[in-house]
Amino acid sequence: MATVKALVISGNGTNCERETAFACEQAGADLVEIVPVWDLVAGEKRLADYNLLCLAGGFLDGDDLGAARACANRYRHTRIADGEKRLWDELREFVQKGNLVIGICNGFQLMVKLGLLPLIDTDNFDQSVTLTFNDSGRFEDRWVELLCDQQSPCIFTKGIERFEVPVRHGEGKLVTMNDDLLESLSAKHLIPVRYTRLGDKLPTEEYPANPNGSPGGAAGLCDPTGRLFGLMPHPECYLHRTHHPRWTRQADLPEEGLGLRLFRNAVEFLAESGVRS
Q: In CATH, what number is assigned to the domain containing residue 122? A: 3.40.50.880
Report pTM. 0.96
Spatial contact of 245 and 143, defined as CB atoms under 8 Å apart: yes
**Average pLDDT of span 33-62:** 96
What local confidence, expressed as pLDDT, does residue 274 receive?
Answer: 67
What local confidence, expressed as pLDDT, does residue 276 receive?
Answer: 56
For the chain, the domain total comes to 1
**Average pLDDT of span 220-242:** 98
Q: How far is CA 183 from CA 122, 160, 215, 266, in A?
A: 19, 23, 10, 27
Hey, which residues are catalytic here?
Answer: 105, 234, 236
Flag whether pLDDT at 24 surpasses 70.
yes
Burial class (CB in 10 A: 0-12, 13-18, 19+), 82: exposed
- What is the residue range of 54's domain? 5-273
What is the C-alpha separation between 188 and 181, in angstroms, rounded? 10
